[in-house]
Amino acid sequence: MIIETGKIERGDRVYASMIKSGKVLAELRCDTTVSGMTDVYKALCRLSPMVKGFVKVSVSNRTRGWSKTLSLLVGREMPSASHKEMIAAGLMERDGQLCIPFN
């Protein structure tokens, strides 16, 4: 058996969980719907949409014989703004340098 750490393909038996402060926020068990780590992360975030901050994500692929645990920073989506909009709002200088206000 060749263990391919991190590899997920459709049809693999995958188990994943999202944990924050020792509490399981979301669990995912699937064998047909994910085809990569990105799909796993997106599915966990959809199951717990209000979570923000650092979480521990554990993923195991029982078909390929591996598991891994990692920290992930989860936050809400932010709309992107153009350079002109950011300059007008005082968040960026004309040369592209971001401005961080300290009030």
Query: CA 33 to CA 71: how far, in whole Å?
Result: 23
- The pLDDT tens digits for 66-103 are 999 999 888 766 666 787 888 888 888 888 887 776 75
CA angle 96, 97, 99 (to 5 degrees): 125
pLDDT one-digit tens code per residue, 1-32: 566 677 888 888 999 999 999 999 999 998 76
Q: So where are the chain's domains?
A: 1-103
Do the beta carbons of residue 60 and residue 67 sit within 8 Å?
yes
1-103 in CATH: which number?
Answer: 2.60.40
What does pTM read for this prediction? 0.66
Q: Is 89 left (phi over 0), alpha (psi -120 to 50) or beta?
A: alpha
